[in-house]
Amino acid sequence: MNRPWDPDLTRPSQNGVYFVADADLVRLADTATHAELAVYRTDLAGCYGKTGLLQRLAASLALPADFGHNWDALADSLRDLDNLPAHGRVLLFEHTDELHHNAEQDFDVLLGILDDAATFAQDADRPFFAFLALPESSAGAGR
């Protein structure tokens, strides 16, 4: 069941990056699956910087072996709508607090790339949402 504050995942006008609680991820995954959107889960537990982040994203997004493992390659991959197995995508990030606390600059770059990808997808009229789970005290709607 959607919460009143959940974005409508079928509406690209609501694309964006949102901070949520860990418990929200299951509901959001179910909502995205019901809307026939591609769902990608990335667990960032024990992730302390760019190298680990890009490795985990390469695995969870099933990026090709020649993925460049740099910020530009990630941005290009997230903007690539031609290889998308569904009409849109929803990225779910678990345990983002470790990356946020240990590599704040990398966390901020990730947010920028996700926001750029959401805007790019919105311009193409495609859903793109990123939900980053933070501890309950830090979570709340964002963008």
Domain range summary for the chain, segments of one domain joined by +:
12-134
Per run of 10 residues, the mean pLDDT along the chain (length 143 residues) is 74 96 94 95 95 95 88 93 80 95 96 97 95 72 45
d(CA 96, CA 135): 9
pLDDT of residue 4: 56
pLDDT of residue 100: 93
Domain 12-134 has CATH 3.30.370.10: yes
pLDDT of residue 143: 44
123, 129, 130, 135 alpha-carbon torsion, rounded to 10°: 140
Half-sphere exposure of 99 (CA within 13 A, CB side): 26
pLDDT of residue 6: 82
- Model's pTM, two decimal places? 0.90
